[in-house]
Structure 1
Amino acid sequence: MTNTIQHQGIVENINGSHVSVKIVQTTACSSCSAKGHCSSSESKEKVIEVIDQHHLYEVGQSVILEGETSMGLKAVLLAFVIPFLWVIFFLFFFMNYMNNELYSALLSLVSLIPYYIVLWLLRNYIKQEFTFKIKPIK
């Protein structure tokens, strides 16, 4: 098992040292032969911004984007695990003091607002943690 995530893409825009690469993100089952009969196979086009100091790329060029698998794990942790644990913690906290399930559930969901505000405030730091490397296709 490799420690990298690779996506093939096409250079869409170059602005100084910032290269915008368009990739097609597909679900794991998009290559299945039954995907035409199933509603779970999806694909989305995404634009990833990569910093390239060497200026080796041209618009329309096919490239490979490469990132560490640990980035995916960090993303899952920030997007799903921590908010889930946050909601569960506050649900039990509010249930202990309020004895009202409806209000406790609503307050525990509302308590996610500060979490997402903190994520938004730390967006520049988080952006530095999630970086891709760009390589030409030979």
Structure 2
Amino acid sequence: MSGEITHTGIVKKLSEKGLIVSIINESACASCHAKGACTAADMKDKEVEIHHFDGEYSVGQHVSIIGKTEQGFKALFWGYLLPFLLVLTILIVSTSIGLSEGISGLSAIAVLVPYYLFLYLFRNKMKKSFEFEIKPL
């Protein structure tokens, strides 16, 4: 399965290292006419760093950000699936060796601290594997 995820955005900052593009991530109901009366409406402004690009871009220019779906699956794995499996494994192992439910639960949650610390320490290395393309609109 090879596909692309595309978002539109605005170039926010230019530097020697690359571009910072601001994208607005909207939920499906964010464009609804009744969103002012509903608490479900959700809009988030996110920034994406683009390190490798061709062409000239200027601040305020509207662009298209393109990422591969494999990157989305990789982010899903590192952010949700692997920590879930770690918690589940620690919970099952600790209860099977006879620890109380409270200690088992705390141990399962405590395993997330070194896991997310590991992700934080290797964030720059992981950032290199999440590259996006940019195209002018």
Q: TM-score, normalised by structure 2?
A: 0.88
Map of 2:45 onto structure 1: 45
Indicate conservation of the 8 Å contact 2:22/2:48, yes or no: yes
Map of 2:104 onto structure 1: 104
Whole-angstrom distance in 1 between the partners of 2:70 and 2:120: 21
Amino acid at match of 2:112: L
Shift >2 Å, 4+ stretches: 28-41, 52-55
Alignment pair present for 1:13 and 2:24: no
Indicate conservation of the 8 Å contact 1:98/1:104, yes or no: no
Map of 1:71 onto structure 2: 71
Indicate conservation of the 8 Å contact 2:20/2:47, yes or no: yes
Whole-angstrom distance in 1 between the partners of 2:5 and 2:130: 12
Map of 2:127 onto structure 1: 127
Indicate conservation of the 8 Å contact 1:9/1:21, yes or no: yes
TM-aligned CA deviation for residue 60 of structure 1: 0.8
Structure 1 residue runs without a partner (length 5+) = none
Whole-angstrom distance in 2 between the partners of 1:135 and 1:55: 9
Q: TM-score, normalised by structure 1?
A: 0.88
Give the paired residue count: 137
Indicate conservation of the 8 Å contact 1:65/1:132, yes or no: yes
Whole-angstrom distance in 2 between the partners of 1:41 and 1:53: 34
Indicate conservation of the 8 Å contact 1:17/1:55, yes or no: no
Indicate conservation of the 8 Å contact 1:17/1:53, yes or no: no
Identity of aligned residues (%): 37
Structure 2 residue runs without a partner (length 5+) = none
TM-aligned CA deviation for residue 135 of structure 1: 0.3
